[in-house]
Structure 1
Amino acid sequence: MLLSLRNVSKTYATPEGKIEVLKGIDFDLPAAQSVALTGESGSGKSTLLHLVAGLDQPDSGQILVAGRDIAGLGDRGRAAYRRSDVGLIFQQFNLIPSLDVAANISFHARLAGRQDTTWETQLIETLGLTSLMRRYPEQLSGGQQQRVAIARTLAARPALVLADEPTGNLDETTGDTVLGLMLSLTKSSGAALLMVTHSPRLALMLDGSVLLRSGRIA
């Protein structure tokens, strides 16, 4: 099992008191599978994704990625984990404005010491980016920027891809096309995908789905 969560809980302090966002989550995601994480706003979806990404730490429980518990890692260990093992795709494209498309795509792979020009070329061709390589993010449409963000993430061949409403800023037709390409490429690379979405329609495009309700898996 590539990703396993065991009794994961997370509480946040607010002026009104503590809010228990996640309450003993157990969850498994095999390699090369895609799962949609669904639920109403406030159900804990983004919090769970941030914990798995190593952007935050749980109050209790284990988050096992390829058998390693990332919940107990320090700041340096979590940064190394994000650099080498996990890829993140969000609504905001987060491209580096001073770099052209080619440099943006290779950025994470270079950081991870895992640049593969043959794989990058496949990503670029599949995502329809060949003619855009010398453009800068401000010269691209939203759909083009998200394709570049996907290529950048997958170029480093992460074992686990985490996506938070990755097509939320795109129109439905463009979003469906981009998501279809992302699913095809993650599967061909052998990566597992965990994607937060509010859309039951988009969730049906993935291999399976999990519903969060009030901090628990329903």
Structure 2
Amino acid sequence: MVLSLRSVSKYYETAEGPLTVLRNIDLDLGTGESLALTGESGSGKSTLLHLVSGLDRPDEGRIEVGGRVVSELDDRGRAALRRDVVGIVFQQFNLIPSLNVASNLGFHAALAGRSNPAWEKQLSERLGLTPLLDRYPEQLSVGQQQRVAIGRTLAARPSLILADEPTGNLDETNGDAVMALMLELIAETGAALLMVTHSTRLAARLDRQVKLTAGRIVT
């Protein structure tokens, strides 16, 4: 099992008292599986991704990723988790503006000690990025930046990929094309995928779907 959540809850303090964002979440994801996490805005989807990636801590429960209990890791350990085990595809891309496309593609793989020029070359070709390798993020379209972000994540061959609305900035046609390619490449790496999406159409392309409502899994 790549990902296991048991009785995970998260609260935030407000002027009116504690606000429960996630309640007793149980979830499992195995090697090579893909799971879509759906739900309305504010239902806790992005918070759950932050907890799994170690960007935030649960108030209750246990999260295990790749055999590591996330809540037991210190800051350095959680950074190592994101470097070695978890890959994140952000909606806002988070490309490094001072690096060209080729360097952005290989950045995380180099940090993880898994640089593989042949794999990075294949990714750039499959993602249609070969003519753009010398360009910088500001010189790219939104769709091109999204493909670089996906390639950068896949280059490091993580065990678990977290994707937060990975096609949310694209129109439907381009979004479908990017999604199809991303799923194809992820399948080739054997990684597990946990994807947040508002789109039931895109969610249907994954192996399983669960819905968050008011911080609880209802399907």
Matches within 5 A, 1:9-48: 9-48=9-48
Residue 92 in 1 paired to residue 92 in 2? yes
Partner of 2:124: 124
Q: For residues 203 and 7 of structure 1, what CA distance do their matches in structure 2 show?
A: 24
Which amino acid in 2 is paired with 1:101? V
Partner of 1:142: 142
Which amino acid in 2 is paired with 1:42? G
- SS of corresponding position for 1:58: coil
Which amino acid in 1 is paired with 2:165? E
Matches within 5 A, 1:1-218: 1-218=1-218
Contact 2:66 2:85 in 1 (8 A): no
Instruction: Give the alignment's TM-score, normalised by structure 1.
Output: 0.98
Residue 26 (structure 1) shift: 0.3
Q: For residues 84 and 68 of structure 1, what CA distance do their matches in structure 2 show?
A: 11
Which amino acid in 1 is paired with 2:118? T
Q: CA RMSD in A?
A: 0.8
Which amino acid in 2 is paired with 1:2? V
Residue 153 (structure 1) shift: 0.7
Instruction: Give the alignment's TM-score, normalised by structure 2.
Output: 0.97
Identity %: 68
Q: 4+ runs of 1 displaced by more than 4 Å? A: none
Which amino acid in 1 is paired with 2:143? G
> Structure 1, unaligned stretches of length 5 or more?
none
Which amino acid in 2 is paired with 1:40? E
Q: For residues 59 and 79 of structure 1, what CA distance do their matches in structure 2 show?
A: 19
- SS of corresponding position for 1:152: helix
Between the two proteins, the alignment pairs up a number of residues equal to 218
